[in-house]
Amino acid sequence: MKKSPVSMTINGQPVEELVEPRTLLIHFLREQLNLTGAHIGCETSHCGACTIDLDGKSVKSCTIFTLQAEGAHIRTIEGMAAADGTLHALQEAFREKHGLQCGYCTPGMILRAWRLLQENPDPTDAEIRFGIAGNLCRCTGYQNIVAAIKHAAILMAGAQQKEAAE
């Protein structure tokens, strides 16, 4: 099938490429753009390892054709740390609280948690669990992921207060 042009903004960078219409967004990110942070866990829309942020919403990039994302603003795990390598508060908190073991689910968990904290900066444990219900983890048993997200919420609120004071 003839390739079609597609353009979008990924982690602040404009991207213009040609894709086959059947190219899934996760394959476009990983194979064409070499952004291999978002993972393919199931490819059946269940595990959430492929979660990215698309126009302000968490989505499973294995269940979207690239052409459906024409013009979109996308954020992936590659866009979380600062340019100088300083980890994002969520990444710091996942490390601090042992929110990962094998790390396979982590890019999706962090992107989902980031959007959750944008919408609800001070979530309860129950709200976190409901909010990450679309992200599976085979290792941690979720306890430490919930703890990491709570910790990140505190770090992020602190950073905001500091910014406001300055």
Partner 1 sequence: MISGSFAFYRPHTIAEAVAMLATHGDAARLVAGGHSLIPMMKLRMAMPDHLIDVGGIADLKGIKRDGSDWLIGALTTQAELIADQALAAGLPVLRETALQIADPQVRNCGTLGGNIANGDPGNDMPAVMLCLNARFEVTGPGGKRSIPARGFYHGAYVTSLAQDEIVTAVRIAALPPGSAAAYEKLKRKVGDYATAAAAVALGLQDGKINFCSIALTNLAPTPLWAEAAGQALIGRAPGAESFALAGRLAEEITDPSSDARGPAAYRTKMGGVMVRRALARAALAAKT
Residues that bind ligand FAD (CB under 6 A): 45-46
Q: Least separation, in Å, of the C-beta of 84 and ligand FAD?
A: 38
Comparison of 132 and 147: residue with beta carbon closer to partner 1: 132
Q: Is 129 in the site for ligand FES (CB under 6 A)?
A: no
**Tokens encoding 105:** 């689910």
Give the single-character DSSP code of 28: I
Q: How far apart are CA 46 and CA 122, in angstroms?
A: 27
Determine contact, residues 55/68, Cβ cutoff 8 Å: no
Q: Which x/- pattern over 56-85 shows residues binding ligand FES (rule: CB under 6 A)?
A: ----x-x-----------------------
Burial class (CB in 10 A: 0-12, 13-18, 19+), 128: buried
Q: Least separation, in Å, of the C-beta of 158 and ligand FES?
A: 26
Q: Least separation, in Å, of the C-beta of 38 and ligand FES?
A: 9
Q: Binding partner 1 by CB under 8 A: which of 18, 81, 133, 159?
A: 133
Type of residue found at 121:
P
Give the Cβ contact number of residue 149 at 10 Å: 28
Q: Is 52 in the site for ligand FES (CB under 6 A)?
A: no
**Tokens encoding 38:** 């978002």
Q: Binding ligand FES by CB under 6 A: which of 100, 116, 146, 147?
A: 100
